[in-house]
Structure 1
Amino acid sequence: MSAAVSRRVVVVTAVHGPSARFLPEAHRSLCEQELPRGWEWHWVIQEDGRTDAVAPHVPADERVTFRQGRSGGPGVARTIALAHAEGEYVKVLDADDRLTPGALARDLAVLEGDRTIGWATSRVLDLLPDGSTAGFPGDPDHGPIEPGAVLDFWKANGFLAQVHPATLFVRRDLLLALGGWMALPASEDTGLLLALNAVSRGWFSSEVGLLYRKWPGQATGQASHVDPAEREARMAVVESRARALGRFGWGRAVRAVYPEHDGPA
């Protein structure tokens, strides 16, 4: 990886036809980001399928790469997108969401400042159809998240994590080492979050980093997303993977790659 490419944040977006109309808003939120001198972002938009519905909404910007592939769900689309751009860090941005100003710079500062931190998340506000926003109670404290903390909270609170996987910012090599997103019909991002938390320290920013759009067409609003039998199976495999990573000592391997130091001031 060249020095220029290494100083790049790869923003990864999975998209399908119904959510494509929101891409221009996501692009505007990216254009509002200010990164330190010498750093850049590159946006990889991966369509989950091959249709004519998405391309008309893709911004004309040399920093944007648009790809298509056979349908396999958002986890597959995000993972295959990693083949099309290189960079030291990966930021998730769902097609229908928006970053807040400063979100990328805050995430980058945390991981550049402390190599013991493998990933970062931030506070989320729901973006409601009328344009208003709503927050969530019970956010964790601003600062580091120790290994196992997300899994413990998730297990004790009805499979709800206290940090949002849609805000994830992660070291690319760590993401690839874990195999990318899980091959699940849903909860693939939660599965990745818990796996990361099993092997690495994380970070939570109390500053709002994402506006999470609520709208009738979103995948998490469909009846299939809460089908009891499927949901139970998803949660079982998500938990089992995270616990297996902990038992196999992956955390020690990660600490060997990212040795400890004093961290940010």
Structure 2
Amino acid sequence: MRRRIIIVTAVHAPSARFLPDAYTSLCRQDLPEGWEWHWVIQEDGKSDQVAPHVPEDERVTFRQGRPGGPGVARTIALSQADGEYVKVLDADDQLPPGALARDLAALEADRSLGWTTSRVLDLLPDGSTAGFPGDPEPGPIERGTVLDFWKANGFRAQVHPATLFVRRDLLLALGGWMALPASEDTGLLLALNATSRGHFSPEVGLLYRKWPGQATAQASHTEAAEREARMAVVEARARELARLRWSYSAASN
């Protein structure tokens, strides 16, 4: 397998206009010698509105498919994941310089870790950024701690699933992202934490764009009955994985 980091991006027509900014942020990443990135962009649906915004670069693969939500799009994109690691990058977000190298260094240095996360700044419509308190201590995140925090804090994790950098084999073993209309990335985060140790970097690893068209800004995202159902199945999956005591470690791979 090539020494590659696969960047996985789900996109739909409203967010396609932000792809060039995401691409610029990828081009600013420096990786150790022998490593490269491959950006897999998967449209959630088939339209003629996304392709014009996809950069022409041999390191970029663009695919389309029937609509099923961002989790389905990302999971389908794993068919093109010909590398050791997978990095999530939403179409409307950006990676600060150095983000990929820090993620890679953490997992290459400690084979007992399955995934990394990092600090996030909101990217506001005027171009300014804003942080928020509550980040965990830098370094390892032990199994089960994300679920405990999430449950005790109104279903809000102490680390952001949009910053995930994951070992590809672990991601595939867990089935990719959950088949949910939203919170599919939180479901993955909790499943990862139930089965493997993670890592948190205190340096900013993501600029999370705030804009009216984003999925989390829609009323449907916070509709009470569906949100309660999403949280219930996300928690149940993580608890069952923990109960089965399946533990991942790359040390023996």
TM-score, L = length of structure 2: 0.99
Please, what is the CA RMSD of the aligned residues? 1.0
Give yes or no for the alignment of 1:123 onto 2:119: yes
Q: Which residue does 2:135 correspond to in 1?
A: 139
How far is 1:249 from its partner? 1.1
- Residue of structure 2 aligned with 1:24, choices 10, 20, 37: 20
In 1, the alpha carbon distance for the partners of 2:119 and 2:93 equals: 13
Determine if the alignment matches structure 1 residue 68 to structure 2 residue 61.
no
Within-5 A mapping of 1:101-120? 101-120=97-116
Q: 1: CA distance between counterparts of 2:195 and 2:205? A: 24
Task: State the 1:85 CA deviation.
Answer: 3.2
Residue 199 of structure 1 aligns with which residue? 195
The list of structure 1 runs, each at least 4 consecutive aligned residues, that deviate by more than 2 angstroms after superposition, is 257-260
Match of 2:172 among 163, 171, 176: 176
Task: Tell me the secondary structure at the aligned position of residue 245 of structure 1.
Answer: helix
- Alpha-carbon deviations, 1:201-232, whole Å to 9, x = none? 00000000100000000000000000000000
Residue identity over aligned pairs, in percent, reads 80
Residue aligning to 2:90: 94
Please state how far the C-alpha of 1:136 moved relative to its aligned partner: 1.3
Q: Which amino acid aligns with 2:32?
A: P
Q: Does 1:156 align with 2:152?
A: yes
SS in 2 for 1:258: helix
Question: Given the alignment, which residue of 188, 194, 200 partners 2:184?
Answer: 188
Which stretch shifts more, 76-85 or 205-214? Answer: 76-85
CA distance in structure 2 between the partners assigned to 1:165 and 1:92 by the alignment: 8
SS in 1 for 2:203: strand
Q: Which residue, out of 53, 56, 66, partners 2:52?
A: 56
Indicate conservation of the 8 Å contact 1:23/1:58, yes or no. Answer: yes
Q: SS where residue 113 of structure 2 aligns?
A: coil
Which of 22, 33, 37 aligns to 2:29? It is 33
Counterparts of 1:259 and 1:160 in 2: how far apart (Å)?
33
The residue number in structure 2 matching 1:258 is 251
CA deviation map 1:97-154 (0-9, x unaligned): 0000000000000000100000000000000001111101110011000000100000
The whole-number CA distance in structure 1 between the counterparts of 2:132 and 2:66 is: 36
Query: Please, which runs of 5 or more residues in structure 1 have no aligned partner?
Result: 261-265
Give the partner amino acid of 2:63: R
Counterpart for residue 38 of structure 2: 42
Tell me the alpha carbon deviations over residues 36-90 of structure 1, each in whole angstroms, 9 at most, x when there is no partner.
0000000000000000010000001110000000000000000000102310000
SS of structure 1 residue aligned to 2:9: strand
Please tell me whether residue 225 in structure 1 is matched to residue 218 in structure 2: no
The residue matched to 1:246 in structure 2 has which SS?
A: helix
* Pair 1:234 & 2:227 matched: no
Is 1:216 aligned to 2:216, yes or no? Answer: no
Aligned length: 253
Residue type at the aligned position of 1:236: A
Aligned residue for 1:165?
A: 161
Between the aligned partners of 2:51 and 2:208, the Cα distance in structure 1 is 23
Q: Is the 8 A contact 1:116 1:259 kept in 2?
A: no
SS in 1 for 2:193: helix
Measure how far apart 1:259 and its partner are.
Answer: 4.7
Task: Please name the residue that 2:7 is paired with.
Answer: 11
